[in-house]
C-alpha cells in the first residue's frame, strides 16, 4: 500500500516522498536505506487494509510490461502509453499507482527513477532492465526481453504445478476414502466383531479399539483434524515457510540437486538479460544477488570478489561452485566469442530442458507408486475388517 514519508533534506528542507510498502515499518526501512532523515510515516491508501493487515492485490507486472510494449510499438509516447494504461485500469490501487508514475514522468523523472519509487511493486531486476535501456534508447526491446524472461520463468512454474495436480488429487481422494473407512465403516464393523465373540486377530482388535475411539470421540477427532488443517494452512501462508521447505528439500539427494539447477537457471537467465542490455558485469551480479538463497548466495559473493579482482567470469563461477560441466564450458565459449549474455540465456534454456525432462520422468514414476501405496492401505484396512468374518465362515464349514 501507499505511504507518505516526511523527511528533512539539508538543502530543500522538509520534503514528502510516496513509497509502496507492505507496512509502516517496511516503508520506514526503505526510506532509511535511501539515507533519508525520516520524521513520520503515514498510510495514504486504504486505512482499513492497514489496520487489518490484509495484503493488497499483487500488481500484474508481466501484463503491465506486455501492454506497455504493445502501446510503444504502436507509436505512442511513453507518458501517453502509461496514461492509456491508467485510463483502462479498473482496480483503484493499481490506477493510483499508474497515476503516480505519470506524475513522476511529468516532473522530469526518467521511467527507471519513477519505477524505483515503488520498490515493492517493481523489482530491482525490472528497474535495472529499464535503466539499461534508457542508456541505449531501446525501451521496447528491453520490455520484450523482460516479458520473455518472465514468461520462461512462469512456464517452468506452470509445468511444476500441472505435474503436481494429479498426485495431489490422488492423495486427496485416497485420504477421503481412508477417512470414510476409518471414521464410518470400521466403528460399525467393531460392533459386529464384538457380537461374534471368540478370539479376534490382534490387527482386528486394533481396529475394534479404533472403532470405539472414533465412536466415543468423533466430534473431538473431527475438531482436531480441522485444527491441524487450519494450522498447516496458516503455517504455509507465512512468508518464511516456503524458504524453509526449499531448504529442507535441498538436503535430499536427487531433489536437492534439481532445485539447485532451477535456481541456477533463474540466476543465469536474469544475469544474461542484464548483460545483453548493456549493464556492467559487477553491477549485474549485484542486482541478481537475491536470486540465489542460502549457500548459493554466499558462493555468488565469492565469485563477485574474484570478478572484481580481474578473474574471468567463467573461472570465477566455476571456482565458486556455480556451474556444472556443461555450463562451465559454455561460459568459456561465451567469453571467447564476446557473447556472454546470449550464452548465459542458452545455459538457462539447457537447464530448463533438463528440469522439464526430470519432472516428466519423476511424475511417470511417482504416480503409479502413489496409486499402489493408496491401494495397499485401503486394501489392508478392508482385509483386516473382513478377516474375522472369514475365520468365522471357515469354522462353520
Question: What CATH number is associated with residue 302?
Answer: 1.20.81.30
Residues spanned by the domain of 13: 2-52
Domain identity same for 300 and 269: yes
Domain identity same for 206 and 289: yes
Q: Residue 70: inside a domain, yes or no?
A: yes
Cα 120 to the center of its chain, rounded Å: 15
Tally the domains of the chain: 3
Domain identity same for 184 and 313: yes
Distance CA 58, CA 30 (A): 19
Quick check: helix, strand or coil at residue 39? Answer: strand
Domain identity same for 240 and 359: yes
Per-residue confidence (pLDDT) for residue 138, from 0 to 100: 76
- Check residue 3 and report its DSSP letter: E
Q: Residue 307: inside a domain, yes or no?
A: yes
Domain identity same for 77 and 165: no
Q: Which residue, 150, 176, 210, sits at the end of a domain?
A: 150
Question: What CATH number is associated with residue 34?
Answer: 3.10.20
Q: Residue 155: inside a domain, yes or no?
A: no
Domain identity same for 188 and 76: no
Q: Where are the alpha helices (DSSP H) in 89-217?
A: 92-106, 111-116, 124-136, 139-180, 186-196, 202-216
Per-residue confidence (pLDDT) for residue 383, from 0 to 100: 79
Per-residue confidence (pLDDT) for residue 197, from 0 to 100: 57
Domain identity same for 138 and 268: no
Q: Residue 21: inside a domain, yes or no?
A: yes
Q: Residue 333: inside a domain, yes or no?
A: yes
Domain identity same for 239 and 386: yes
Per-residue confidence (pLDDT) for residue 234, from 0 to 100: 85
Domain identity same for 18 and 94: no
Quick check: helix, strand or coil at residue 338? Answer: coil
Q: Where are the alpha helices (DSSP H) in 107-138?
A: 111-116, 124-136
Domain identity same for 262 and 287: yes
State if pTM tops 0.75: no
Domain identity same for 45 and 87: no
Q: What is the pLDDT along the chain (397 residues), one digit of tens a residue?
A: 567 777 766 555 556 777 766 666 667 777 776 777 676 676 664 443 444 344 445 788 888 888 888 888 888 888 888 888 888 888 888 888 888 888 888 888 888 888 888 877 888 778 877 887 777 667 888 788 788 877 877 777 787 788 778 888 888 888 888 888 777 777 777 676 666 555 666 766 777 777 777 777 777 878 888 888 888 888 877 766 776 777 777 788 788 888 888 888 888 888 888 887 777 888 888 877 767 777 788 888 888 888 888 888 889 988 988 888 888 899 999 888 888 888 988 898 888 888 888 888 888 888 888 888 888 888 887 777 777 666 666 555 5
Q: Which residue, 150, 179, 214, sits at the end of a domain?
A: 150
Q: Residue 156: inside a domain, yes or no?
A: no
Per-residue confidence (pLDDT) for residue 228, from 0 to 100: 86
Distance CA 361, CA 133 (A): 41
Amino acid at each position: 500500500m501507499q505511504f507518505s514519508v516526511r523527511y528533512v533534506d539539508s538543502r530543500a528542507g522538509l520534503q514528502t516522498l510516496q513509497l509502496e510498502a507492505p507496512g509502516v515499518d517496511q516503508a520506514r526501512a526503505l526510506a532509511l536505506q535511501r539515507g533519508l532523515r525520516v520524521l513520520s510515516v503515514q498510510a495514504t491508501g486504504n486505512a482499513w487494509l492497514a489496520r487489518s493487515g490484509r495484503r493488497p492485490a499483487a500488481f500484474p507486472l508481466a501484463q503491465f510490461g506486455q501492454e506497455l510494449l504493445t502501446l510503444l510499438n504502436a507509436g505512442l509516447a511513453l507518458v501517453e502509453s502509461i496514461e492509456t494504461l491508467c485510463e483502462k485500469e479498473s482496480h483503484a490501487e493499481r490506477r493510483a499507482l499508474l497515476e503516480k508514475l505519470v506524475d513522476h514522468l511529468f516532473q522530469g523523472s526518467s521511467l527507471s527513477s519513477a519505477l524505483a519509487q515503488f520498490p515493492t511493486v517493481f523489482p530491482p531486476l525490472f528497474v535495472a532492465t529499464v535503466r539499461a535501456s534508457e542508456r541505449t534508447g531501446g525501451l521496447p526491446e528491453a520490455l520484450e526481453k523482460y516479458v520473455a524472461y518472465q514468461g520462461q520463468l512462469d512456464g517452468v512454474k506452470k509445468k511444476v504445478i500441472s505435474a503436481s495436480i494429479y498426485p495431489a488429487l490422488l492423495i486427496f481422494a485416497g485420504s477421503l476414502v481412508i477417512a470414510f473407512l476409518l471414521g464410518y465403516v470400521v466403528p460399525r464393523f467393531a460392533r459386529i466383531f464384538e457380537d461374534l465373540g471368540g478370539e479376534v486377530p490382534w490387527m482386528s482388535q486394533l481396529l475394534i479399539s479404533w472403532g470405539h475411539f472414533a465412536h466415543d470421540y468423533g466430534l473431538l477427532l473431527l475438531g482436531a483434524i480441522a485444527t491441524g488443517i487450519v494450522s498447516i494452512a496458516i503455517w504455509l501462508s507465512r512468508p518464511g515457510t516456503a524458504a524453509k521447505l526449499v531448504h529442507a528439500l535441498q538436503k535430499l539427494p536427487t531433489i536437492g540437486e534439481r532445485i539447485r539447477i532451477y535456481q541456477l537457471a533463474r540466476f543465469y537467465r536474469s544475469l544474461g538479460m542484464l548483460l545483453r542490455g548493456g549493464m556492467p558485469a559487477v553491477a549485474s551480479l549485484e542486482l541478481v544477488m537475491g536470486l540465489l538463497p542460502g549457500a548459493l548466495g554466499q558462493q555468488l559473493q565469492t565469485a563477485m570478489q574474484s570478478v572484481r579482482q580481474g578473474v574471468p567470469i567463467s573461472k570465477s563461477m566455476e571456482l565458486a561452485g556455480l556451474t556444472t560441466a556443461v555450463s562451465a564450458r559454455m561460459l568459456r565459449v561465451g567469453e571467447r566469442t564476446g557473447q556472454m549474455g546470449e550464452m548465459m540465456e542458452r545455459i538457462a534454456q539447457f537447464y530448463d530442458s533438463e528440469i522439464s525432462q526430470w519432472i516428466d520422468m519423476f511424475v511417470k514414476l511417482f504416480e503409479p507408486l502413489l496409486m499402489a501405496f493408496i491401494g495397499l492401505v485401503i486394501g489392508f484396512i478392508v482385509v483386516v475388517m473382513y478377516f474375522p468374518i472369514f475365520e468365522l465362515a471357515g469354522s462353520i464349514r
